[in-house]
């Protein structure tokens, strides 16, 4: 992984992926007690940043390999990203999804042209099952985060943040990133290292699934004790990646942890103040900006909203719980 | 009104207002039966395009006039736009709002620094009351649409659409615009006339309040028979403006009309497919793109989502009615 690889990925993405804007609201600044900027990747194609990494990986394949087809295992956002990027490249895709993935993500993945195969998140090893499927069908597996070309694609978010921060006159800030396996976080960290050294990436995770925060704290990879029970389905992974962890260890600030209720609160604030739809796992970085002010020293924060693929029932729950009195 | 005035307004807006992106979704294309592009002005400062016209008008005032303060009458979006632009210029503002305006709009207008005065939408003449207030307090009235500098500010949406359409290779399209008094519609029409002659603006209104569609059809200004009873509060006005109507008559295609229920459906689609929060009046153009396909001949449409300032209860209603089965 190096910055040349990231910049090459961005050139492949150019014209196919969206450059998302950098937003803000005086109401959020007031809650956070500092200037808050938002990088809304929920506005990306397929509703999450995952389309970037998927496009990067698929566009980097040898044509003959790509044409045989690709596969992925994913709770839903990587699934949609791979399904979309494969369809745009005109190649088939098979997606292995957990049986408890939000209905919207499953329906969208199928509508985007993929064949969906389900597995049980609690009892089955998705990596083993994915590799078996790939082998049997001669598909190339696109890993969700521990894959250099995927990290390089996600890193394009960091390149955009570096440019947009410079335009907005932001030279020092913590960049809060919703973190599962660490593909987005490590990619952003690499891009910032090269182009915005005053900006520091920090992973944000849901309470009870803070494997990255604990791993950074201990200096070695720690696993989550369970895989179910969070509403932040998009960012629940067993442990940081073997590729992503050393990058995060070298470049990231300490991890931040928020509760499910704080994620719902951040979703309601994104609705009220930004007119954006965030999913729980995509809202944890904004939640940390709003609810963990004592653990942030930087005068400004940039929070990535990583995805917006949320079921209406869950979204309504955030409004009923946290926006009713408005 | 001429294109030089519009381009001068854009230069004053530059660096203060957001350039909103041009979005799309294959799911919306499928519903509409043609390519659908979205110009999401709900992502503008204050949650609607109104911040553009307010900034344009306030920034064009003589400094001594501006410093005495400004006032506006508005159902809520123009109110927030004027309150925000006044505060950014460091001058006081007084806003006259209907007593039935959404709570969120009223609260935001006050939080943005304005003094709010209420009036009854059914029984009081807001223009007379507004002019009286302006005279008594030595404030300069910023009219919501029948004011050249306001139209010039809203026209910046049209300049951006012209550029973004060219970049996306769109040379012919209907540009559907949520229409109240016609400030945004006439501004966009003027910008397109100068910079994208293959693109044609068309006003979209809620059923029962289609004064602009009827006026265009008859060739003379027609009034609405009532002012209350629509959920599309942002775009219910008594009649087209004296300045805006001749522009729309010269440049716009026929008006389109959608039901309240179709506006709620479009809000749900914006949630599902674009991850955007649209208010009912801000969703009517998208509703027309999705539900009036037989009245559109162009191979592509660009629908402006004009605002996203919606109460949680109304938003939840759109999800329960139109997104539950997903």
* 3-state SS class at B95: strand
- Give all strands of the β-sheet with B300-305 in edge-to-edge order: B23-24, B35-40, B300-305, B173-178, B199-206, B256-258
What pLDDT is attached to residue B87?
97
Strand order from edge to edge, sheet including A256-258 = A35-40, A300-305, A173-178, A199-206, A256-258
d(CA B39, CA B323): 22
Chain A residues in contact with B268 by the CB 8 A cut-off are 312
Q: Residue A229 — pLDDT band, cuts 50, 70, 90? A: confident
Cα-Cα-Cα-Cα dihedral of B2, B7, B13, B14, to 10°?
Answer: 170
- Say if the Cβ atoms of B319 and A326 lie within 8 Å: no
CB contact under 8 A, B276 and A276: yes
Q: Do A276 and B271 touch (CB under 8 A)?
A: no
**Least CB–CB distance from A276: residue in B275, B320, B326:** B275
Mean pLDDT of A42-71: 97
Instruction: Please indicate, yes or no, whether residues A240 and A96 belong to a single structural domain of this protein.
Output: no
**Does the beta carbon of B149 lie under 8 angstroms from any beta carbon of chain A?**
no
Interface probe for A, chosen from B275, B276, B309, B326 (most Cβ of A below 10 Å), is B275
The residue whose two tokens read 């924060």 is A301
3-state helix, strand, coil in chain A (%, to 5): 50, 15, 35
Same domain, B184 and B153: yes
Q: Which residues contact B312 (CB under 8 A, 6 or more apart)?
A: A268, A271, A319, A320, A323, A324, A326
| Cβ <8 Å between A315 and B271 | yes
Same domain, B85 and B20: no
**Widest distance between CA atoms in chain A:** 57
For residues A57 and A148, give the distance between their C-alpha atoms in angstroms, rounded to a whole number: 8
Q: How many CB atoms lie within 10 A of CB B56?
A: 30
Q: Residue A133: its pLDDT value, please?
A: 85
pLDDT band, very low/low/confident/very high, at A44 (cuts 50, 70, 90): very high
Q: Check whether residue B130 and residue B266 sit in a common domain.
A: no
> Which of these, A274, A292, A148, A126, lies nearest to A210 by C-alpha position?
A292
**A179, A212 contact by CB (below 8 A):** yes
**Is any Cβ of chain A less than 8 angstroms from the Cβ of B325?**
no
Residue B278 is encoded by which pair of tokens? 């649209």
Q: Measured between CA atoms, how close is B273 to chain A, in angstroms? A: 8
Residues 6-65 of A with CB under 8 A from B: 18-21, 23, 26-27, 40, 42-43, 47
% residues pLDDT > 70 (chain B): 99
Confidence of residue A321 (pLDDT cuts 50, 70, 90): very high
Judged by CB atoms closer than 8 Å, whether chains meet at B275 and A308 is answered as: yes
Chain B hits for A20, CB-CB cut-off 8 Å, are 21
Q: What is the per-residue pLDDT for B112?
A: 92
Q: Tell whether A212 and A104 lie within a shared domain.
A: no
Q: Do B275 and A275 touch (CB under 8 A)?
A: no
Q: Note the pLDDT tens digit of each residue in B36-91.
A: 999 999 999 999 999 999 999 999 999 999 999 999 988 689 989 999 999 999 99
* Shortest CA gap A275–chain B (Å): 5
Judging contacts by C-beta atoms under 8 Å, the chain A residues touching residue B282 are none
Mean pLDDT computed over every residue of chain B: 94
Residue A76 and residue A169 in one domain: no
Kindly list the residues from chain A whose CB atom is less than 8 angstroms away from the CB atom of residue B111: 27
- Inter-chain contact A324–B308, Cβ cutoff 8 Å? no
Are residue B190 and residue B276 in the same domain, yes or no?
yes
Q: How many domains does chain A have?
A: 2
pLDDT band at A305 (very low <50, low <70, confident <90, very high): very high
| Alpha carbon distance A231, B250 (integer Å) | 53
Domain enclosing residue B79, as ranges:
50-141
Residues B84 and B225 occupy one common structural domain: no
Give yes or no for residue A102 having a pLDDT over 70.
Answer: yes
H or E element in which residue A82 lies: helix A77-89
| ipTM for the predicted complex | 0.94
Do both B209 and B197 map to the same domain?
A: yes
Which chain A residues have a beta carbon less than 8 Å from that of B38?
A: none
Would you call A291 an interface residue with chain B, using a CB distance cutoff of 8 Å? no
Contact assessment for residue B46 and residue B76, using Cβ atoms and an 8 Å cutoff: no
Residue from B40, B76, B109, B312 whose CB has the most chain A CBs within 10 Å, to mutate: B312
- Kindly state whether residues A226 and A308 are assigned to the same domain: yes
Which chain A residues are Cβ-neighbours of B107 within 8 angstroms? 326
- Residues in chain A with CB shorter than 8 Å from the CB of B48 are none
Where is the domain boundary, A104, A121, A141?
A: A141
Which residues 102-121 in chain B show a CB within 8 A of chain A?
103-104, 107-108, 111-112
* Residue after which a domain boundary falls, among B107, B141, B175: B141
- Over the stretch B6-33, which tens digit does the pLDDT of each residue have? 999 999 999 999 999 999 999 999 999 9
Same-domain status, B119 and B99? yes
Question: How confident is the model over B232-239, as a mean pLDDT?
Answer: 88
d(CA A193, CA A187): 10
* Neighbour count for residue B169 (Cβ, 10 Å): 7
Q: pTM for the whole thing?
A: 0.95
Final residue before a domain boundary, out of A125, A141, A157: A141
- The pLDDT confidence band at residue A186, using thresholds 50, 70 and 90, is very high
| d(CA A122, nearest CA chain B) in Å | 25
Q: Are A116 and A110 in contact (CB under 8 A)?
A: yes
Residues B312, B209, single domain; the answer is: yes
Average pLDDT on A290-312 reads 96
From A275, A308, A320, residue closest to B42, measured CB to CB: A275
Task: Determine the Cα–Cα distance for residues B22 and B302; give it in Å rounded to an integer.
Answer: 9
Q: So what's the pLDDT on residue B325?
A: 56
Nearest to A37 by CA among A273, A236, A294: A273
List the CATH number of the domain containing A273.
Answer: 3.40.50.1100
pLDDT score recorded for residue A75: 67
Residues of B in contact with A43 (CB under 8 A): 21, 23, 274-276
Task: Report the DSSP pairing between strands B35-40 and B23-24.
Answer: antiparallel
């Amino acid at each position: 992984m190096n910055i040349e690889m990231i910049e090459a990925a961005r050139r492949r993405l150019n014209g196919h992926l969206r450059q998302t804007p950098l937003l803000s609201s005086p109401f959020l600044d007031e809650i956070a007690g500092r200037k808050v900027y938002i990088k809304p990747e929920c506005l990306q194609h397929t509703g999450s940043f995952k389309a970037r990494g998927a496009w990067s990986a698929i566009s980097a394949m040898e044509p003959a390999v790509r044409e045989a087809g690709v596969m992925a295992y994913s709770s839903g956002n990587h699934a949609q990203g791979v399904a979309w990027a494969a369809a745009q490249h005109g190649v088939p895709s098979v997606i292995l999804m957990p049986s408890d993935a939000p209905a919207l993500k499953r329906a969208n993945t199928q509508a985007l042209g993929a064949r969906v195969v389900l597995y049980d998140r609690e009892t089955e090893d998705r990596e083993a099952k994915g590799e078996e499927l790939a082998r049997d069908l001669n598909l190339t597996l696109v890993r969700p985060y521990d894959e250099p070309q995927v990290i390089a694609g996600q890193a394009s978010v960091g390149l955009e943040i570096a440019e947009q921060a410079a335009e907005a006159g932001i030279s020092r800030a913590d960049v809060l990133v919703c973190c599962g396996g660490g593909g987005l976080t490590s990619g952003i960290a690499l891009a910032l290292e090269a182009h915005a050294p005053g900006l520091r990436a920090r992973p944000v995770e849901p309470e009870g699934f803070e494997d990255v925060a604990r791993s950074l704290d201990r200096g070695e990879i720690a696993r989550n004790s369970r895989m179910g029970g969070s509403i932040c389905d998009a960012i629940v992974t067993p442990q940081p990646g073997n590729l992503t962890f050393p990058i995060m260890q070298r470049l990231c600030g300490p991890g931040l942890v928020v509760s499910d209720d704080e994620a719902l609160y951040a979703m309601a604030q994104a609705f009220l103040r930004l007119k954006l739809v965030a999913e729980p796992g995509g809202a944890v970085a904004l939640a940390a900006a709003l609810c963990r002010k004592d653990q942030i020293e930087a005068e400004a924060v940039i929070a990535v909203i990583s995805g917006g693929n949320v079921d209406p029932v869950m979204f309504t729950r955030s409004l009923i719980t946290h926006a009713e009195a408005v």
